[in-house]
Amino acid sequence: MASKLDARIPAGPLKDKWDLYKNSIKLVNPANKRKHTVLVVGTGLAGGSAAAALGELGYNVKAFCIQDSARRAHSIAAQGGINAAKNYPNDGDTIWRLFYDTIKGGDYRAREANVYRLAQVANNIIDQCVAQGVPFAREYGGLLDNRSFGGAQVSRTFYARGQTGQQLLLGAYQAMMRQVSAGTVTMFPRTEMLDLVVIDGRARGIITRDLVTGKIERHLGDAVLLATGGYGNVYYLSTNAKNSNVTAAWRCHRRGAYFSNPCFTQIHPTCIPVSGDYQSKLTLMSESLRNDGRVWVPKKPGDTRHPSQIPEGERDYFLERRYPSFGNLVPRDVASRNAKYVCDEGRGVGETQLAVYLDFADSIRRLGRNKIEERYGNLFEMYERITGENPYEVPMRIYPAVHYTMGGLWVDYGLQSTIPGLFVLGEANFSDHGANRLGASALMQGLADGYFVIPYSLGDYLGGTRIEAASTDHDAFEAAETDARQRIGKLLSVKGSRTVTEFHRDLGRIMWDHVGMSRTKDGLEQAVDAIAALRDEFWQNVLVPGEPTTYNKNLEFAGRIADFLELGELMARDALMREESCGGHFREEFQTEDGEAVRNDRDFTFVSAWEFTGDPRTSVLHKETLEFENVKLSTRSYA
Amino acid sequence: MLSRLYGSPVLKKVTTGLTGIFLTLFVLVHMTGNLAYFADDTGEAYNAYSHFLTHELGALFYLIEIGLLAIFLLHATIGIQIWLGKRAARPEAYAVYRTAGGASRQSLSSRSMIVTGVLLAVWTVFHLVTFKYGTYYETTLADGTVVRDIARLVDEVFGNPMYAFGYPAMMLLLAVHLRHGVWSALQSLGLVRPTASASTYLVGGLLGLAIGVGFLLLPIAIYFQWA
Amino acid sequence: MSHSMRIHLKVWRQAGPNAPGRFESYTVENANEHMSFLELLDVLNEQLIKEGKEPVEFDHDCREGICGSCGVVVDGVAHGPQPRTAVCQLHMRHYKSGDTITVEPWRAKAFPAIRDLVVDRSAFDRIMAAGGYVSVSTGNAPDANAIPISKVDADLAMDYASCIGCGACVAACPNASASLFTAAKISHLAKLPQGSPERKMRVRNMVEQMRKEGFGDCSNHAECEAVCPKGISISAIALMRREYLKAATS
């Protein structure tokens, strides 16, 4: 069993591993590439770049996405930027430092070799994107501009206004459309993967549903690449797009792919707070706002006075008070947790009392309104558009929201899951961010996996594996399609009394309360039971309207919520198992007197990898022990 | 050549713009020429101007006429094509539709280009029949040259209230056509700087109005015997 | 404080691509000024499902104005009355209790209807595939700073590149023209040295594909700029025409 978790990290010094790997892999000769069909599921940064790069190499690529166009994947919403150790500002950046910051930022729960490779190829990403015409910000001299981001002491973040994700995604999308035009990539938009087909132990195909006609289809391939993003929507409210979901990954998990570190989720501190029950999603605002905004709440619980009526002496600038040296700039998890604590004390502000103030009054006095407008004008505008309040005059109200999930399907160094032939890229895998992701690293990982890693490791697999001829008539296809059809039939036939959204909202509440920013043994145990009970209720009482043969968003969502209801339990179990606090995972039992996270390196320096056994209740834990040969484990401190 | 032109959305638009500008310049010159009527000389200058155009330019006059006709036809046929294309591009109309305002240049003028255009085309034929091929009176200029007395025909025609008020109405339509047309032509040719978009739009509108008013003065003045 | 609002909706319902469409009237009693317009539709749909009716289908995803999935015509204006705002970020505080709002899908031959408010915008993908890229295969790139680009040009390129491909330009255009969408990509790439060797082919092929898809011609109404959630200027269309002429005359 444990042998399944061979990470296959190449031997040799850290900095040479990737080169040694590339030197030793099998290759597929150019004439043979077009004979290999590769199924790419998801067309965000990871999937789009992979489809483009593989198409360029001559593989026969089929790319699937649930959106109506590949250009809409949720990577598009990333605002801040993308890291690379180009060291253009000459401020001492190196590949080693980018590697080290990422490992440390992840609270020492990521694989050294993967992270180092990420830091190495990051420079190529910037080159590639510029060559594609991505309009990164520039200085007057015409060269690229960099800005600084949390968790680093150098400026290494490349950005395109507040729309970096959009521009990088469009770059990948355009590269992919070039291959569509060349005939190497075939696009299947509005198509959802419902199951993975495994033949003779290898991933050989997928079952899909056409989201317009409801048609169930079989697709055969020599390998399946999963780039389907994260599972933050298990919380119902998150900054993820409404269609982001875990279904494709979860279906693979059910077919034998191990799921790693599901409890590692990232909560972003500066989001626009919830305004009511109808709320459908949360909107993030760049954390750069914390550079000039001061976070506070009233000292007195239940103080409903207008913020301007609360005198200075009755305000609690709680981050500045607790963390005098970092103040408002503490890392994301610390800022988020503290906001939750003050709201738990009844000191939250706004109608729902689930918000804290982010006040720019001092900065406006010190720097002038123009300067603040120059720095944050578009963010202020967005805030006003959503809330109807003018943040130049009234302090912003912010609250943390689920933003990114570090966990995902387990993969080896070559991004291959525990099912041979199934590769997992980007946020859908667990590999590079450990227990916490640094800002501007998600884009980096997605593109690294797609442009620069998978073209090699997939070639190694296809070149070194004898893939038997098969057809979509194979029993495994038949069985998987029948499963998918039955599931859809079952969802529609329950005809209960509660809507899909109601179940999703209930699940979200359990997850947020017990598997959110701050977790306890009791709470997690309650969550495990509550989720299991909700899951049972779902299958007996869900009300899915409409037909299986038309565009039917509720039906799509129903299948996804059903999978979230299983994943949620696994997340709670993983969080329960991990008796330490690290990164985005904070167990209240494991903290210092000052409320700082206490990691347990002796017992928990491993990646959890859960094996599905037929029921989330009985999932089996496997462990991949993390070896740190190059960095020394130390405790984060921001006080 | 023509099929390439008609097959390209961009070339069509550029050609509409170019021909539109030529036609605008033509009517501007025509209007200026008309003002010769107001000289206090019982039509002498007006008739001399007419004679100059038709007899002293020689072959050039016919070249100009053929050129104008070609430009006119190009402008009109593309305009009709764009209108047909637009109808095909949205088979089902909105139940409720309005402009968003702001940067929009949509106006009664912009939406009625096909109507004003077709009416002006029909009217142009009528106009040529009335004057170019109308009654041929003769008169003698001060220098003894015998020329066509077009001023007399003009006096006659605009003595009729149908013409005296029909013509100004058509000239208002021309102003409406040019209200969008001048700006649109400049935009089509890429001559509008983004920062000067609003002022260009304003100037285009004023030019259209000036041309329209310049033309309608003549029939009104004749009918009320101001000149 | 938030007030409960009663909102009447007249929504276009159409069962499928070839089914006849019609307006249905609904009332949402418990709307709220902080809601987004799409959240209002969510509430309506929950209500409809509970009543055993089929919910109103509409495309949506990020709900923060960047993915370009959503888009409906609200009271005759694509994305509704707020300038530079996609309909997912249109909030109900711009309405008052008792208002009636008419909701229609994007209407254009090149955007065939799918169901209710959902249309097929794949024509945009085909226009992009016709040339909306720089032909640089992965791994071929020189150092990112090898070619300096003036900040002015880079900023302008970014202005054009910010297109979210929502299709509002087509929906609002009296001619159903896709000129702003096509021109935004051409102009983005025209402002940069990258991809310059293929610029002539790009503009020719993209314009030709736009025509083939059945979009109307541009009449410079500039309605597209007015409804564009990113405020992309029609100067892009002028630039596209210059690019085209350069390509056509050489």
Mean pLDDT over B49-77 rounds to 94
Structural domains of chain C, count? 2
* Tokens coding A617: 């209740």
The answer on C235 and C130 residing in a single domain is yes
B102 and C215: CB-CB below 8 Å? no
Q: Using DSSP, how many helices (H) and how many strands (E) does chain B show?
A: 9, 2
> Final residue of a domain: which of C44, C69, C104?
C104
May I ask the CATH class of domain A268-401?
alpha beta
Kind and range of the H or E run holding A405: strand A396-405
CATH number of B2-223: 1.20.1300
Beta strands in A285-342 (DSSP E): 294-298, 315-316
Please tell me the distance in Å from C183's CA to the nearest CA on chain A.
15
The answer on C29 and C61 residing in a single domain is yes
Quote the pLDDT of residue A639.
62
Give the residue numbers spanning the domain of C32. 4-104
Quote the pLDDT of residue A593.
85
B106 and C242: CB-CB below 8 Å? no
> Which pTM was predicted?
0.97
Quote the pLDDT of residue A147.
86
Instruction: State how far the alpha carbon of A600 is from the alpha carbons of A2, A78, A586, in Å.
Output: 22, 32, 12
Nearest to A71 by CA among A53, A52, A88: A52
C139 and A128: CB-CB below 8 Å? yes
Residue A368: helix, strand or coil by DSSP? coil
> Final residue of a domain: which of C72, C104, C136?
C104
The number of residues making up chain C comes to 250
Kind and range of the H or E run holding A341: helix A332-344
Handedness of CA C85, C88, C94, C98 (dihedral sign): positive
Quote the pLDDT of residue A326.
82
Mean pLDDT over B149-165 rounds to 95
Domain of C45: which CATH number? Answer: 3.10.20.30
Mean pLDDT over C142-149 rounds to 96
Asked if residue C143 is part of any domain, the answer here is yes
Quote the pLDDT of residue A24.
96
Mean pLDDT of chain C: 97
The pLDDT confidence band at residue B227, using thresholds 50, 70 and 90, is low
Quote the pLDDT of residue C152.
96
Asked if residue C65 is part of any domain, the answer here is yes
Asked if residue C116 is part of any domain, the answer here is no
In the block, which residue shows the tokens 């462990």?
A: A623
The pLDDT confidence band at residue A1, using thresholds 50, 70 and 90, is very low
Mind giving me the DSSP string for chain C?
Answer: ---EEEEEEEEEEESSTTS-EEEEEEEEEEEETTSBHHHHHHHHHHHHHHTTPPPPP---SSSSSSS-----EETTEET-SSTT--GGG-BGGGS-TT-EEEEE---BTTB-EEETTEE--HHHHHHHHTT-S----TT-PPPTTSS---HHHHHHHHHHHT-----HHHHH-TT-B-HHHHHHHHHHHHTSSTTGGGHHHHHHHHHHHHHHTT-B------HHHHH-TT---THHHHHHHHHHHHHHT-
Mean pLDDT over B152-159 rounds to 95
Residue A297 phi/psi, 5° resolution? -140, 165
Among the partner residues B12, B104, B193, nearest to C222 by beta-carbon distance: B104
pLDDT digits (tens, 9 = 90+) for C78-101: 999 999 999 999 999 999 999 999
* C-alpha–C-alpha distance, residues A581 and A519, integer Å: 9
* C-alpha–C-alpha distance, residues C171 and C191, integer Å: 27
- Above 70 in pLDDT, residue B95? yes
Please tell me the distance in Å from C250's CA to the nearest CA on chain A.
24
The number of residues making up chain A comes to 639
The answer on C62 and C10 residing in a single domain is yes
Test the A interface: residue of C28, C66, C181 with most A CBs within 10 Å: C66
Quote the pLDDT of residue A378.
82
* C-alpha–C-alpha distance, residues A165 and A440, integer Å: 10
Domain boundaries, chain B: 2-223
Residue A601: helix, strand or coil by DSSP? helix
> Final residue of a domain: which of C77, C104, C131?
C104
* C-alpha–C-alpha distance, residues C235 and A127, integer Å: 29
> Above pLDDT 70, what percent of chain A?
99
- Above 70 in pLDDT, residue B18? yes
Chains B and C touch (3+ CB pairs under 8 A): yes
Asked if residue C109 is part of any domain, the answer here is no
- Above 70 in pLDDT, residue A222? yes
Quote the pLDDT of residue A377.
87
The answer on C84 and C185 residing in a single domain is no
The answer on C63 and C167 residing in a single domain is no
Quote the pLDDT of residue B40.
86
- Above 50 in pLDDT, residue C118? yes
Mean pLDDT of chain B: 94
* C-alpha–C-alpha distance, residues A284 and A31, integer Å: 47
* C-alpha–C-alpha distance, residues A274 and A272, integer Å: 7
Domain of C145: which CATH number? Answer: 1.10.1060.10
Mean pLDDT over A360-389 rounds to 91
A8 is catalytic: no
Among the partner residues B13, B111, B194, nearest to C235 by beta-carbon distance: B194
Please tell me the distance in Å from C44's CA to the nearest CA on chain A.
11
- Contacting residues of A for C63, CB less than 8 Å apart: 241-242, 280-281, 283
Among the partner residues C48, C64, C129, nearest to A283 by beta-carbon distance: C64
> Above pLDDT 90, what percent of chain B?
87
Mean pLDDT of chain A: 95
Asked if residue C89 is part of any domain, the answer here is yes
pLDDT digits (tens, 9 = 90+) for A291-341: 899 999 999 999 999 999 999 999 999 999 998 888 898 878 889 999 999
Asked if residue C219 is part of any domain, the answer here is yes
Q: Which residues contact A274 (CB under 8 A, 6 or more apart)?
A: A237, A282, A352, A354, A399
Per-residue three-class SS string for B100-163: CCCCCCCCHHHHCHHHHHHHHHHHHHHHHHHCCCCCCCEEECCCCCEEECHHHHHHHHHHCHHH
- In the CATH scheme, what is the homologous superfamily, with its name and number, of domain A2-266+404-464? FAD/NAD(P)-binding domain (3.50.50.60)
Mean pLDDT over A404-410 rounds to 98
Instruction: State how far the alpha carbon of A47 is from the alpha carbons of A249, A250, A491, B3, in Å.
Output: 14, 17, 29, 42
The answer on C213 and C163 residing in a single domain is yes
Quote the pLDDT of residue A330.
83
More confident residue, C205 or B54: C205
Q: At what angle do helices C179-190 and C122-129 cross, to 10 degrees?
A: 30
Label residues B75-112 b or e (16+ Cβ within 10 Å = b).
bbbbbeebbebbeebbeeebeebebbeebbbbeebbeb
Please tell me the distance in Å from A274's CA to the nearest CA on chain C.
10
Quote the pLDDT of residue A541.
98
The answer on C151 and C100 residing in a single domain is no
Q: What is the DSSP letter of A308?
A: G
* Tokens coding A351: 């109608």
> What chains are in contact with A, requiring at least 3 Cβ pairs below 8 Å?
C
Question: Residue C139 burial by CB count (10 A; 0-12/13-18/19+): exposed, middle or buried?
Answer: middle
- Above 60 in pLDDT, residue A3? no
CB A272 within 8 A of CB A387: yes
Quote the pLDDT of residue C2.
61
C217 and B8: CB-CB below 8 Å? no
B189 and C75: CB-CB below 8 Å? no
Quote the pLDDT of residue A332.
82
pLDDT digits (tens, 9 = 90+) for A112-167: 999 999 999 999 999 999 999 999 999 999 999 998 877 678 999 999 998 999 99
C239 touches chain B (CB under 8 A): yes
Domain boundaries, chain A: 2-266+404-464, 268-401, 475-622
Test the C interface: residue of A67, A242, A245 with most C CBs within 10 Å: A242
The pLDDT confidence band at residue B226, using thresholds 50, 70 and 90, is confident
* C-alpha–C-alpha distance, residues A559 and A243, integer Å: 12
* Tokens coding A77: 């919403």
CATH number of A475-622: 1.20.58.100
